[in-house]
Amino acid sequence: MKNLLLAVAFLISLQIFRQEDAWVYLRNKPNSKTYLAAPLSMLSRRALERRTRQNILLDLKDVPLDAAYYNQINAATGITVLSKSKWLNAIHVQGTQGDINNLKSNFLFVSQVEFANTLLNLKGKKSERSFQKKKNKFTAMKSNYLYGTSQTQVTMLNADFLHRKGFTGAGMLIAVIDGGFPNVDKLLALQRLRDNNQILGGYDFVNKSVDFYTGSNHGTNVLSDIAGFVEGVFVGTAPDASFYLFISEDVNNEAPLEESLWVEAAERADSLGVDIINTSLGYTTFDNDNYSHSYADMDGSTTFISRGAEIGASRGMLLVNAAGNSGSTSWKYMGAPADAAGVFTVGAVNAVENIASFSSFGPTADNRTKPDVLAHGENIFVIDHLTGLPKPSNGTSFSSPVMSGVVACFWQAFPNLTNTEVRQRIREAADRYNSPDEQYGYGVPDFKKAYETVLNLDKENLIQTITIFPNPVTRLFTIKYSSTNMLELNLKIYNLSGSKVFEKKNLKRSTVDISGLDAGVYMLKVSHGCSQKIIKIVKN
């Protein structure tokens, strides 16, 4: 009996002193008015310009956490602060259950405590879960590249079409959030990046270090599929883009902290004016099973990282994420943040566009289509971090950066599109758009089709802006429209009986002479391709 009591006492003591992870949510941001009145104190000029282009207003989520609140939490008894998020107004802490719960009791500015082990939360019981057994890692000159080993992964999406048009990612800013970037500062295949100063910086959020050329080679492989360049040997999908390289993945541990560090990295990317974030990571299970997610959590609004991703998308960035490599496992579904509605989730196919068996399934728990699209990810080529030579590999980890690079080229072509419009145009150009599938999603997109669709829509919209002046017309009228580029227009003028009385084809001049027409009322039809507009003309 004595031994039994000792054993029970020991187990109780373990429970009392066991360290738990939790997010502490704060009630407000007392200095918000000061920050919102001085946007450059929160965001770079480039970030503000991105917001302006997409008509996105600043809000409370852009304001940093209150420093006084943070310092009080950091100094609290038994509490270790591991990370923080301004978007979610939350601090990731570690401590005993008692010490963490005391934060809500002791500080009025704490609104809620959410334990990573959801059994400790007051909301209720965690839903039944099915676990995955292993973690998922998953204006330039016109360019006629010799792609070499990367030929299939580039041409499958018609990225080469965009390159030939001169869209190679120049002026676009991409953040790669991953597990490490060893030898990116040395590899010949990435020398072009270095020589052109296209690596603008980075940070290791795991080790709190400015040395980001370290850690897992996974990030190096991922980056190579976007930016690698050895003419005739290997060319990435956006070789002229610029980059920030962030480490949020702790390759030695699988813990909820990685979700928080990812959100921190995404916030940093936002503040620097990044256009696109590539994430070839996904979270479902952790080393401590009590922290693991269920399929029911894959609804885009439950996990910390997916909530952060949604906010990132709302800031105007385009977040591209690997679907995951669980398609042939009992789990089979995508991980977080690939489940978020604002995330562009990428699955994998082989060289002949058949689905890779490992590519994770959708839909999300709330029945949204995932993945969004597919790219080459089975027997795809990456740059080896040791040899600097192309080598075959597998995973949605690599279909995602292939897609990120082409998205950068496409957005470079149409910079006035919003991130939401870019995602939708790409989906519409995919081969299964009208019949999406739980593993194929909307399918493999054709970026030539997407480009031409947007171009035609732009021309149609441009035609609709056409006006003429003066009207009534005595002899000459001038055509005016909202573009500095001159379109080749076709003009036809009809009388009220429907007879054509005037025609000009491939008109490049803006002034038209109709002195030969009698006085009266006419209908002018202006057209370009399939787009047209009818304007009533009064001739004096």
For residues 131-151, average pLDDT: 62
Give strand pairing partners of 391: 382
3-state secondary structure at position 32: helix
Distance CA 223, CA 17 (A): 42
- What pLDDT is stored for residue 496 in this prediction? 78
Element (H, E) at 346: strand 343-349
Q: How far is CA 52 from CA 55, 82, 238, 273, 415, in A?
A: 5, 33, 25, 12, 12
Closest CA to 181 of 278, 57, 308: 278
Distance CA 163, CA 453 (A): 17
What band does 480 get if pLDDT is binned at 50, 70 and 90? Answer: confident
- What pLDDT is stored for residue 483 in this prediction? 60
**Given its phi and psi angles, is residue 129 left (phi above 0), alpha (psi -120 to 50 degrees) or beta?**
beta
Q: Are strands 467-469 and 390-393 parallel, antiparallel or unpaired?
A: unpaired
Q: Do 17 and 99 meet the contact criterion of CB atoms below 8 Å apart?
A: no
Residues near 262 by beta carbon (within 8 Å), at least 6 away in sequence: 177, 248, 249, 279, 281, 305, 308, 337
Average pLDDT, the chain: 91
Q: In terms of pLDDT, which residue wins out, 136 or 230?
A: 230
What band does 485 get if pLDDT is binned at 50, 70 and 90? Answer: low
Position 395 pLDDT exceeds 60 = yes
For 365-396, b/e burial (b = at least 16 CB within 10 A) is beebbbbbbbbbbbebbbbbbeebebeebbbb
Query: Phi, psi (5° rounding) for residue 239?
Result: -70, -15
* CATH class, range 465-539: mainly beta
Q: What is the CATH number of domain 151-456?
A: 3.40.50.200
- What pLDDT is stored for residue 334 in this prediction? 97
For residues 192-218, average pLDDT: 97
- What pLDDT is stored for residue 342 in this prediction? 98
- What pLDDT is stored for residue 27 in this prediction? 98
Distance CA 162, CA 158 (A): 7
Give strand pairing partners of 540: none
**Where exactly are the structural domains of the chain?**
2-120, 151-456, 465-539
Distance CA 398, CA 450 (A): 22
Model pLDDT for residues 5-51, shown as the tens digit of each residue: 444 444 444 455 799 999 999 999 999 999 999 999 999 999 999 99
For residues 308-318, average pLDDT: 98
Position 2 pLDDT exceeds 60 = no
Residue with tokens 């060893």: 182
- What pLDDT is stored for residue 127 in this prediction? 40
For residues 322-327, average pLDDT: 98
Length of the chain: 540
Active site positions, annotated? 178, 218, 397
Residue with tokens 């008692």: 98
Model pLDDT for residues 401-459, shown as the tens digit of each residue: 999 999 999 999 999 899 999 999 999 999 999 999 999 999 999 999 999 998 877 66
What band does 488 get if pLDDT is binned at 50, 70 and 90? Answer: confident
Distance CA 163, CA 144 (A): 7
For residues 514-523, average pLDDT: 91
Please tell me the least confidently modeled range out of 1-15, 110-124, 285-299, 412-426. 1-15
Element (H, E) at 152: helix 151-155
Position 141 pLDDT exceeds 90 = no
What band does 325 get if pLDDT is binned at 50, 70 and 90? Answer: very high
- What pLDDT is stored for residue 490 in this prediction? 87
Q: In terms of pLDDT, which residue wins out, 459 or 516?
A: 516
What band does 482 get if pLDDT is binned at 50, 70 and 90? Answer: low
Position 530 pLDDT exceeds 90 = no
For residues 65-89, average pLDDT: 98
Radius of gyration, CA atoms only, the chain: 28
Q: How far is CA 319 from CA 45, 266, 326, 343, 427, in A?
A: 20, 9, 21, 5, 15
Position 469 pLDDT exceeds 60 = yes
Residues near 5 by beta carbon (within 8 Å), at least 6 away in sequence: none
Give strand pairing partners of 534: 525
3-state secondary structure at position 68: helix
